[in-house]
Amino acid sequence: MEETYLLNVEGVKKKILHGGQGELPKLQDGSKFTFHFQTLKDDFERTVIDDSREAGMPMEIIVGKMFKLEIWETLLSSMRIGEVAEFWCDTIHTGMYALVSRGMRRIAEGRDPLEGQKHRCGMGNMFDYHSTGYDDLDELQRTPQPLIFIMELFRVEDPSAYKRDTWAMNKEEKLAAVPVLHSEGNRLVLRREFAQAAAKYQEAVICLRNLQAKEKPWEDDWLKLESLVTPLVLNYCQCQLELGEYYEVLEHTTELLQKHNDNAKAYFKRAKAHAAVWNEREAREDFQRVAHLDPSMAAAVKKELKQLGERMRKKHVEDRKRYQGLFQSSQGL
């Protein structure tokens, strides 16, 4: 088939190698393409740069989620299911390919795709061109050039047809996901699967924090989201107490109490974490705050203080014995 300009997009030519089936898929924000691809240089040898089949994993793109190589969404939107097509793309569309390829290669190798970019601002990452860690990609960065993409599209899914990662959800979808994740976490707690439950609560908190970041702190919409965050954080901390991750509990309850210094449940969980790591004074102070803030918890506080006293007395006895043994051993030398 003769080459034709694709959808009047400057610097793109398309050649269909194998026809697809049916009509062009109807796309919406959040639709997911699943496809295989080859990337070739536009040279005499048509040198292969990447091949997703050799990497052993297909590629996925979510429509409308700012994939770094924006032209790929345009190319795939022109394809039918089962179609194989070759696209020639001019340099104006391929400048980000080296960075995209680096991430895909690291994922295929089981490495962190953001390795070396953490704690850097986005603008700094964009211009982090000194080395990708791959010689052929470094060459592409030094010498931008047209590339050929051969793509085989084999699935397009509506947003409702697959389980979406929370980062790919819009506001309404995140809000809808939160009670589902909360319920799943509660169900896992009843089965005493605390690590899995903590992961559900954490995912729900991340959804809400992402939404909060777009609101002005302490105004109505922000506060409504915060009211959903607080019980999830407390549930997460309870799981961490069960798992023995006491310093994790101290960190999250302290952060919560900096915003809500009247939350008795947060003080109670922090007190238990302090007690577990032998911070007697801090534990007693937090337990006393609980009894003051919520008299209905006075009985639970009394029980915890009694247990704390017994544990501390036992520890002091054991410490004295250990120190006496060390002193006697030193005298015998």
* Superfamily designation of domain 171-321: Tetratricopeptide repeat domain (1.25.40.10)
Give the model's confidence band at 4: pLDDT under 50 very low, under 70 low, under 90 confident, else very high.
Answer: low
4-157 adopts what CATH topology? Chitinase A; domain 3 (3.10.50)
61-75, 190-204, 291-305: least confident range: 61-75
Q: What is the pLDDT of residue 329?
A: 55
Give the model's confidence band at 333: pLDDT under 50 very low, under 70 low, under 90 confident, else very high.
Answer: low
H, E, C per residue of the chain: CCCEECCCCCCEEEEEEECCECCCCCCCCCCEEEEEEEEEECCCCCCEEEEHHHHCCCEEEECCCCCCCCHHHHHHHCCCECCEEEEEECHHHHCCHHHHHHHHHHHHCCCCCCCCCCCCCHHHHHCCCCCCCCHHHHHHHHCCCCEEEEEEEEEEECHHHCCCCHHHCCHHHHHHHHHHHHHHHHHHHHCCCHHHHHHHHHHHHHHHHHHHCCCCCCCHHHHHHHHHHHHHHHHHHHHHHHHCCHHHHHHHHHHHHHHCCCCHHHHHHHHHHHHHCCCHHHHHHHHHHHHHHCHHHHHHHHHHHHHHHHHHHHHHHHHHHHHHHHHHHHHCC
Q: What is the pLDDT of residue 332?
A: 52
Taking only the tens place, the pLDDT of each residue in 136-153 is 999 988 888 999 999 999
Residue range 13-35: mean pLDDT, rounded: 88
104-108, 178-182, 203-207, 213-217: least confident range: 104-108
**Mean pLDDT: which of 30-44, 103-117, 158-172, 304-318 is highest?**
30-44
Name the residue ranges covered by the structural domains of the chain.
4-157, 171-321
Q: Does 325 have pLDDT greater than 90?
A: no
Taking only the tens place, the pLDDT of each residue in 281-293 is 999 999 999 999 9
Q: Does 164 have pLDDT greater than 70?
A: no
Residue range 285-302: mean pLDDT, rounded: 94
Taking only the tens place, the pLDDT of each residue in 179-191 is 989 999 999 999 9
